[in-house]
Structure 1
């Protein structure tokens, strides 16, 4: 009889995201920080700036 690996062990080894030793929470935190930085550094569209100028009047 052949011993089958546990399903959880099989998934971890075959996981495409198993490229670093960082804990998952650290990966998520780093990705969220990067996303936030990207959004903060985006230019404000001219249409939105025009709308804000109209709202100030």
Structure 2
């Protein structure tokens, strides 16, 4: 199941540089494209606010 970004997201940008497939989009709250997500978990590992989890 693809990862999702919760409302705890602080839009710091840390996850974007870590995503190997470019599935994360910027915004007030970042989002992950479920069709592109490979479920590697790298984004969740680097998120300082623990806002990313498997959906």
Normalization by structure 2: what TM-score? 0.19
The structure showing larger relative contact order (alpha-carbon pairs under 8 Å, at least 6 residues apart) is 2
Q: Which has more helix, going by share of residues? A: 1
